[in-house]
Every structure is written in structure tokens, then in C-alpha cells.
Amino acid sequence: MLKVDNLEFSFKDFQVLSGISFEARRGEFVSILGNNGAGKSTLLKCIARLLKPKSGVVLIDGKDANSFSLHQLSKNVAYVPQRYTTNRITVYEAILLGRKPHFTGLIPSSEDLEKVEMALDIFGLKHLAFRYLDEISGGELQKVVIARAFVQEPKVLLLDEPINNLDLKNQIEVLKILKKLSRQEEILVVVILHDLNLAIRFSDWFIFIKDRKIFASGGKEIITADMISKVYGVDVKVEKHGDEIFVVPIVAAI
């Protein structure tokens, strides 16, 4: 579904990414992890074609992403940024805008409206449908932005820190929804996360970025205290409780 091959990116002469290669399949939940400034958002933006890599290719379903028209790209890839600005439109209208790549006439089709209704339901936003975006909370807005990407019906859904404004209950709820979407709709979900333990709980595959490169990638077996300590520069323990593993930072008493 997604193949990134030898991607390099620089902001002028400041190299941010080098030799980034990985593949991910339909139906997977992949998390991109690493310290602040490691290049995670830059990688996601290169995949979404918002930034142009210096070299390397991004293949979507075997086709070079550069060969897609913007219209085709928006039917294949949806991107939820870390920060977003809002217009004075309602929650309903904002989500409906996600259907834009599917519009065939001036009036939304019944399918467009059904998808919006479905998204309002899935994301628990029905009661806010006719509120303006500046009249809802930051966490609610975050859900709206994800719901808008969902109705776009992409094959690849890219999300940059989608749970950073949410309380714990909503963090888990949104990750559960994303996981369900990856499984049921066979979408490839690629998410930047900072919470290692939530990433471990929900992801099928992990990509750790450090010093411009992929430091480690793989399934849960790559999560070791040594690897995490090297990536984040913090001493940690990896503890097992039943089938689950947890990363616990070792912090000396203050």
C-alpha cells in the first residue's frame, strides 16, 4: 500500500531525513516515534506530498505519489496536521468538506450525507453537528478534523499527533476508532505518537526515527529497554504484565 524508498529531505542545507525506507500494508496501524525535532512530521508531510523530498520515492499502491493529480491524491491519502486553523463553519459542514474529492455535482450526494452522518456517529459528534468550530473544545475539534479525514475515504490515513489535545478517555477512544478503521475498512493508518505505551497497545508496526534515519522498525519484538533508551536518551525499563509490555522511565528521586 505504501512504500517509501530511500527518502531524503532537507530544509535548505539542513538535512532532516536521510535514507528513509519502509513499507506498510493495507489494514495496518503504524506508529512513527522519536524525540521532538527528529523529523517525524517532515516524513509525514513528504508522504502527503506537502513537502518535496530531495530524493527518494513514495509509492502508493505501487504508483509514484508524484504521478497522482491532486484530486487522485486526495482520494488516496488523507493527512491530519498537528496544527490547524478553523473557519466559521459548523461541525457538520467541516466534516462534509472532507467529501470534496468525491463531489460529482454542486450538491452533495446522498452518499456524501450518509458518510457524514456515519462519521458524526462514530466520533460521538452528533450533539455538536450544528455548533460552529469556534464554539467547541480543542479535543472536540481534534475529533472533527479526524472525522473529516475519515469521510475522505482514503487508502492511507496520515495523522500527526492526533491525540495530543485529548484527555485519556478520548485518547483511547480515538485510537480505538483508528484501529477499527484500519482493520474494518482496510485503511493503512500511520500515526505520529508521543505516548509510547499507547503506541505499543495499538500499533502493529513501529518506526523509530533518530539522527535523520530510521533507528529501528518492526513489530513489538523491537521494543527493548536498550533501544528505547538509545532513541529517547532516557533510561527505561520494559515491564511485562500478562501479554502486554510497558515502558517505564527510570527517574531518580528528586
Ligand X SMILES: Nc1ncnc2c1ncn2[C@@H]1O[C@H](COP(=O)(O)OP(=O)(O)OP(=O)(O)O)[C@@H](O)[C@H]1O
Residues lying near ligand X in the complex (CB under 6 A) are found at 11, 14, 16, 34, 36-42
Closest contact distance (angstroms) between CB of 30 and ligand X is: 15
In total, the chain counts a number of residues equal to: 254
Closest contact distance (angstroms) between CB of 111 and ligand X is: 35
Scanning the chain, the segments in alpha helix (DSSP H) are 40-47, 70-76, 91-97, 110-122, 138-151, 168-184, 196-202, 225-232
Judged by CB, which is closer to ligand X: 17, or 94?
A: 17
Return the residue matching grid coordinates 513514495. Answer: 58
Judged by CB, which is closer to ligand X: 36, or 85?
A: 36
Judged by CB, which is closer to ligand X: 2, or 38?
A: 38
Judged by CB, which is closer to ligand X: 91, or 193?
A: 193
DSSP string, 98-135: TTGGG--SSS--HHHHHHHHHHHHHTT-GGGTTSBGGG
Closest contact distance (angstroms) between CB of 125 and ligand X is: 26
Judged by CB, which is closer to ligand X: 67, or 82?
A: 82
Judged by CB, which is closer to ligand X: 36, or 104?
A: 36
Closest contact distance (angstroms) between CB of 129 and ligand X is: 31
63: helix, coil or strand? Answer: strand
Distance CA 46, CA 118 (A): 30
Alpha-carbon Rg for the chain, nearest whole angstrom, is 19
Closest contact distance (angstroms) between CB of 158 and ligand X is: 12
Return the residue matching grid coordinates 459548523. Answer: 90
Closest contact distance (angstroms) between CB of 82 and ligand X is: 6
Q: Can you read off the three cell numbers belonging to residue 16?
A: 532532516
Closest contact distance (angstroms) between CB of 17 and ligand X is: 8
CB 71 within 8 Å of CB 101: yes
Judged by CB, which is closer to ligand X: 40, or 115?
A: 40
Q: Give every CB contact of residue 106 below 8 A, 6+ residues apart in sequence.
A: none
CB 53 within 8 Å of CB 6: no
